[in-house]
Structure 1
Amino acid sequence: MTTALYDLPGPRSRRRHLLYGTGASVILLALIGWIISLLFDTGQFTAQKWTPFTYKGIQELLLTGLGNTLKAFGYAAVLSMALGAVLACARLSDHRAVRWAGTVLVEFFRAMPVLVMIFFVYVALKVEPLPALVTGLTLYNGSVLAEVFRTGVNSVERGQGEAAYALGMGKTQVMTHVLVPQAVRAMLPTIISQLVVALKDTSLGFLITYEEFLHAGKLIASNLDYDLPFIPVVMIISPIYIGMCMLLSWLAHWVSRRQRRNPKVEAAEVGAAEPGTLLPGAGPGLPKPPHA
């Protein structure tokens, strides 16, 4: 039996794939066991290193750092989306000067390292740590998202916009009612990926003394009274960062499922298959889309 893309594996291929999978699992488990044994040998699971995490003050320090991380990420995510939308509109503008200005800003902020922008705002402009961190994250991620938005809109079939213009819609209406709803589903995975990058980059705040999650972990790990529990701190902080990133991915899947059940999106997708019937109720007497 075959599909459109490849032949379905037969009994021998399935047995071979099962063997490969079993072998890879055994190797992975052996590697994990070896790492755990090294941690035991170096005393990373001793009570002295883990007891500090039972103290209320340490727990409050970690919770405060986590809250500050989420606060910085929330501000940066919202502002990055807004800046990305503005810059994308500039790059899609019909006016050459506006397009040129948008292109310069996007390319400049995309090329600048995030840490350099954060330090510049913090040191040169003498801004508080939180605004400096949010500004640097917003400028970088906003410029990246601008390209994501622009590419997503341009990926929609050209006839969709032409048909909408033929119906007498203005450019704003075409963008908000025709192009953007169809482009959002294609852009969503990339948008979430970039927001994950912004979430991880909030850890750069500890370099400018912003008391975020990593900064709290650093204070605990460098404490001589607790026998420098660096590995335990990593083992606590890392799963929380991974969990937050996985939560963002779950949110993306949830939004995608809701969009698939959205009647407006379904109507737009039907229109994408038949350009002559873009809008509900459009009849054969409508003018044809203009050709470039």
Structure 2
Amino acid sequence: MSGSSVLFDAPGPRSRRLSLIASIVGGVVILGVLAWVVWTLAMPRVSGGVPVPAILDPVRWDIFADPEVWGAIGRGTIATLQAAAVAAVGAIALGIVFSLLRSSAIGWVRVPTAWLLEFLRGMPVLLMMLFILLVASTGAFWAVVIALVLYNGTLIGEALRAGLASLPRGQREAALSVGMREFQSKMLVEFPQAFRQMLPIIVAQLVVLLKDTSLGYIVGYHELIRTTMNQLASFYGNRYLFSLFFVTLAIYLAINLTLSWFARWLARRTASGGRRVKGGGAAPALVDPTTAIRLAEANADARASEHRGPGGVV
């Protein structure tokens, strides 16, 4: 069987030529947009009738020669990572609990858990933070952490539940046949497999969790954005606003791209059973966690239907 797709014909000379032309045109357009952005940033401007230096002018970047500025940025970055780390541990722990309760065979446990999960998934994270801060008076840090734990714990729990549901029925039947109880089978046989299967999705959700720590700006938590875009900009003046914005963006990109790279590496490792992929093949693209959960649930339903006869009898 040839390596070409069975659904699409291999492109001919005309298609390859059109694809090459489109790629060249697209590259030229992208370079033109980048050149326009650089030219715009390098041009002096007028604000309120007063000439001000260009954004790329060195006078807008001289504050970064001050060690105090980097000290403040470092403290904001540490505060962001601290909230994200505590919330990540709590979200994973809560997700494990939710997945076990949601997949319980007892109706009065499973149904209220499903209602609670739907409520938490539908509530905006910022409203959770404000509610916790105003009602529980926990302080800004714990308002951010608890809200992130609740919201992301529901998504991680749904991912783990979908992973449990997508496992072959033979896993549980084999565990029960050797004398294990249902809870033992779930904890010792099924759950480790589901956790490993959904681990890349969990890591991808933790990337979202890290970015959501920026909502702490609204509730007064001194994370990275509040430190740079509010405190430092107010102290040094608005002319450094873009410079601080650029540095903040670079820090977030460095952290999130590192986590995304780790998630892709983890997906490649888990997909290959812990072995290296031959030829250095690229990892499968990370999907949205909600989409992955629905896909796992669909696979679980398909596997369940295979065990039913035409009349729906197993």
Q: Does TM-score exceed 0.5, indicating one fold?
A: yes
**Quick one: which amino acid aligns to residue 26 of structure 1?**
V
Maintained 8 Å contact 2:80/2:213: yes
Rate the CA distance shift 1:141–1:110 in 2: closer, same or farther, 3 A.
same
**Quick one: which amino acid aligns to residue 102 of structure 1?**
T
Following superposition, the deviation at residue 224 of structure 1 comes to 6.3
Total equivalences in the alignment: 265
Runs of 4+ in 1 over 6 A off after TM superposition: none
Whether 1:217 aligns to 2:219 is: no
3-state secondary structure, aligned to 1:190: helix
3-state secondary structure, aligned to 2:260: helix
**Quick one: which amino acid aligns to residue 215 of structure 1?**
R
Correspondences of 1:167-182 after superposition (within 5 Å): 167-182=178-193
Where do 5+ consecutive residues of structure 1 fail to align?
264-290
Cα displacement string for residues 30-84 of structure 1 (whole angstroms, at most 9, x for unaligned residues): 1111112111124111222111122111100000000000000000111001101
Correspondences of 1:35-50 after superposition (within 5 Å): 35-41=37-43, 42=45, 43-50=54-61
User: 1:74 is matched with which residue?
Assistant: 85
3-state secondary structure, aligned to 1:228: helix
**Quick one: which amino acid aligns to residue 207 of structure 1?**
I
TM-score (norm 1): 0.83
User: 2:125 is matched with which residue?
Assistant: 114
Out of 95, 101, 105, the position equivalent to 1:84 is 95
Cα displacement string for residues 216-262 of structure 1 (whole angstroms, at most 9, x for unaligned residues): 11235633644432221121111221221111122223334444344
Rate the CA distance shift 1:66–1:104 in 2: closer, same or farther, 3 A.
same
Maintained 8 Å contact 1:80/1:139: yes
**Quick one: which amino acid aligns to residue 150 of structure 2?**
L
Distance 1:245 1:261 in 2: 25
Following superposition, the deviation at residue 124 of structure 1 comes to 1.6
**Quick one: which amino acid aligns to residue 29 of structure 1?**
L
**Quick one: which amino acid aligns to residue 15 of structure 1?**
R
3-state secondary structure, aligned to 1:7: coil
Following superposition, the deviation at residue 119 of structure 1 comes to 0.8
> Which gives a bigger RCO, structure 1 or 2 (Cα 8 Å, sep 6+)?
1
Out of 249, 263, 271, the position equivalent to 2:260 is 249
Greater shift in the superposed pair: 131-140 or 216-225: 216-225
Rate the CA distance shift 1:173–1:257 in 2: closer, same or farther, 3 A.
farther
Following superposition, the deviation at residue 188 of structure 1 comes to 2.9
User: 1:200 is matched with which residue?
Assistant: 211
Maintained 8 Å contact 2:121/2:151: yes
Out of 16, 19, 25, the position equivalent to 1:17 is 19
Rate the CA distance shift 1:123–1:112 in 2: closer, same or farther, 3 A.
same
User: 1:159 is matched with which residue?
Assistant: 170
Maintained 8 Å contact 1:160/1:179: yes
How many percent identity over aligned positions?
35
User: 1:123 is matched with which residue?
Assistant: 134
User: 1:102 is matched with which residue?
Assistant: 113
**Quick one: which amino acid aligns to residue 11 of structure 1?**
P
Distance 1:205 1:251 in 2: 25
Cα displacement string for residues 82-139 of structure 1 (whole angstroms, at most 9, x for unaligned residues): 1011011000111111112211221111111111110111122111111111001111
3-state secondary structure, aligned to 2:8: coil
Distance 1:119 1:179 in 2: 38
User: 2:246 is matched with which residue?
Assistant: 235
Rate the CA distance shift 1:100–1:163 in 2: closer, same or farther, 3 A.
same
Distance 1:182 1:56 in 2: 49
